Amino acid sequence: MYDDSDGPGAAAERLTGRTTRDERPLSGAPAEVVLDDGRTVMVKRADGLEEARAEAAGLRWLAGAGTVRVPIVYGQDGHWLVTDQIARGRPSREAALDLGRALAGMHLAGAPAFGSAPPGGPRDAYIGRAPMRNVEGTEWPEWYAEQRVLPYLRSAVDEGTIAAGEAPVIERLCARLPDLAGPAESPARLHGDLWNGNVLWGADGHAWLIDPAAHGGHRETDLAMLHLFGCPHLDEVLRGYEQVAPLADGWSDRIGLHQLFPLLVHAVLFGRGYAEQALSTAKAALER
């Protein structure tokens, strides 16, 4: 039985079965805890009851692809999650090339459906601090519109971040998605929140993925998010990706479609600047 009132050290002891020697708080919610066997683990306390369970299930699902590097999950209960701590290094072109190949393999590992949650993961999950529902669908354009774009558009309008008169441009884009989405693809196993901050360049010379919002989706969505916020040596990531799983023709023209989801999430979380970017992205996509 978990104790939600304890601290990081006690949570680490309970979930690893080891005694703690040291505890160091980090910026934000996580803490580093040194165990009696010399390992350092990351201990996070999530805000939502399902947030830690979603992250633990996502990490295990991505690891199950056998291609990408993710921290080991030592345990999760209630609000607490304990994972391996990855020593930080610097990005390199070699690590980026390897990351691209690994991402392609992860995507090819597939998912049961668009919107499927990782095994053991909750239907009501999170992307960052925003709620994200994992509702399954069979056709990507319809699922993406109904389960990823429109819920955040409605939230942004309700909060006044996007004016009601501005919303139709995004609604029109959703209606046209079947014509704009490119060739149909099978559901991919997505990280789901793949911005550069969730790519950790390790001291071991490899790239590691952290903090997933994992679900079944379109593989171009992960790559579009890497484009949205930038990624060191992105050209090498894409080169490695194409070596394993070449992208469909015209995929670069569809980047804006896939960026609409994270832009609207950021509009809900952080305000008008991202709303304006979402609106301009939708307008540009409609003009193609």
User: Catalytic positions, please?
Assistant: 193
Q: Which DSSP string do the residues of 49-89 spell out, in sequence order?
A: TTHHHHHHHHHHHHHTTSSSB---EEEEETTEEEEEPPPB-
Tokens linked to 220: 């171009």
The answer to whether 21 and 8 are in contact (CB under 8 A) is no
What residues are paired with 177 via a beta bridge? none
Q: What backbone phi and psi angles, to 5 degrees, belong to 110?
A: 80, 180
**CA–CA distance from 277 to each of 104, 162, 185, 190, 220 (Å)?**
28, 11, 27, 24, 19
| Torsion sign across C-alpha atoms 80, 85, 90, 94 | negative
Beta strand spans in 129-274 (E) = 130-133, 188-190, 199-201, 207-209, 215-217
What residues are paired with 207 via a beta bridge? 201
| Close Cβ partners of 20 (under 8 Å, ≥ 6 residues apart) | 9, 12, 13, 33, 34, 35, 36
